[in-house]
Amino acid sequence: MISMYDLVKKILEETNGQICKHCLGRKLSHIVEGRDNINRGEKIFEDLDIQEPENCVVCGNIFDKINDDLFKKIYDKIDFLNVEFDRFLVGSRIDKQIKTCDDELSEKFDLDVEPIKKELNRIIGREIENTLEKEVEFEKQDIVINVDLRKEPKVRIQINPLFIEGKYNKLIRGIPQTKWPCGKCKGKGCEECNFTGKQYSESVEELLSEPILEATNGWQAKFHGAGREDIDVLMLGSGRPFVLEIKEPKIRKIDLDALEELNFLTREHGYATMKNMSDISNRMAFCYETKQRIAEKASEIISDGETIMVESGSSCALLVKYLSETKKDITVITNSSYIARFIRETEGGVTKVIVLGGEYQKEAEVMVGPLVKTCAEAFYVDKLFMGTDGYIPGIGFTSGDMLRAEAAKSMADSARNSIILTDSSKFSEHGVVMQCRLKDINMVFTDDQVPLEAKDAMEQNGIIVETVPR
């Protein structure tokens, strides 16, 4: 059997002595003891009384790139993405020439040792583990930190999907399980689908995805259902199992208790059941904190002692609640029994609530129909606040219900200024009927993620757009 010193001599001859302690220690890791490859290489150089060369022909001094600057790039990238993780894996890219040279040296001397990339990944991973107190995981990691060492080091963070298992109930008919593209335009948007690109305005997939994407700050959701059901059937009992795949989630630890408090889901034994999303109290869970900020901003244009009209909507309900807490002698005229009920226990600013009569829609807790118009004609106010279900670029705002859209139009006829309160997600959605055109709107309160094209179109139509942080 060849001795250690004979093998070292042969490796040094093969490399003309131009091999670093990392590479030499790794090539001899099977016969030289040491805490790591660097330590093994240092022992060999010391025993043989030789100096480590300035340049390594095997790795091209690639280990010198693993320095403070590289780790700053890694930590800056993690901070920039604001990604939550506990388990990670490191991957790296190196020049093909380095890999080829490393493999050929191992093959020439029949060395069954780890490749150079594995050592690079281990050194980087160990430092991140110690600094961030996170765990390297080879099978189920939250993120993968990819380091490109071919030229100037670059860092890319791969955020692995989050899989959420649950059950859902469908308590109303007419909602498909998954999103259905319009049969005519194939999802592009046309007059037949009112430019929504969808055959149906909502689906179980979308209703489940929206609040979870909000809670996880994810990029996209993919729905995996356990079997399918017809659009015109209910899903009662214990619910249908599903798995929701969240792509690029920035938050992995979801506060299910908080979602339950917002009346979005019901906690069961080992899972959470989604509630009826046609219920306005359940829609309150979507972008809840953003809607609060929108409501607070909108309250700034309302004076003590003012009478306002408020149409149904979760942001509108939060506005009335905030007025009740911060203003004095406010009168609210509304077609929403939910809003009247929402503030029933609040003592303070809203001293009078007038509910317009009409046909009662149970899920939305709102009055609709011709009686709303008749009742609204008895009043004239300075400001009407409305929610919305969607937006058609350059045209106006839309609703998912024809009767609610007609009620909003009737109330707008009794107000000098019509004001929309909505989070920016509605600008990528489309209702089934026109609610109001841009020329009929005076102000819009939304968040700072509103698409620039939409903001420009509104301002070009004379609309004042006020935004809050998302």
361 and 341 in contact (C-beta within 8 Å)? Answer: no
How far apart are alpha carbons 140 and 160 in whole angstroms?
A: 9
List active site positions.
230
> Angle, nearest 10°, between helix axes 96-108 and 4-14?
140
How far apart are alpha carbons 122 and 268 in whole angstroms?
A: 42
**C-alpha angle 162-164-170 in degrees, rounded to nearest 5:** 140
What is the number of alpha carbons within 13 Å of residue 312 lying toward its C-beta? 34
- DSSP letter string over 331-367? EEEESBHHHHHHTTT--SSEEEEEEPPSEEETTTTEE
How far apart are alpha carbons 312 and 386 in whole angstroms?
A: 7
How far apart are alpha carbons 357 and 67 in whole angstroms?
A: 71
287 and 426 in contact (C-beta within 8 Å)? Answer: no
CB atoms within 10 A of CB 424: 20
Q: Given the structure tokens 């999907």, which residue do they identify?
A: 161
b/e code 102-124 from CB counts within 10 Å (16+ = b)? beebbeeeebebeebbebbbebb
How far apart are alpha carbons 330 and 324 in whole angstroms?
A: 8
Pairing of strands 396-399, 366-368: unpaired
How far apart are alpha carbons 458 and 439 in whole angstroms?
A: 9
How far apart are alpha carbons 247 and 399 in whole angstroms?
A: 29
Q: Which two tokens stand for residue 328?
A: 């004095």
Q: Which two tokens stand for residue 456?
A: 């420009």
How far apart are alpha carbons 78 and 42 in whole angstroms?
A: 34
How far apart are alpha carbons 290 and 455 in whole angstroms?
A: 18
Strand-pairing partners, residue 166, are 242
329 and 305 in contact (C-beta within 8 Å)? Answer: yes
**C-alpha angle 456-386-214 in degrees, rounded to nearest 5:** 70
- Closest C-alpha among 283, 168, 181, 174 to residue 237: 168
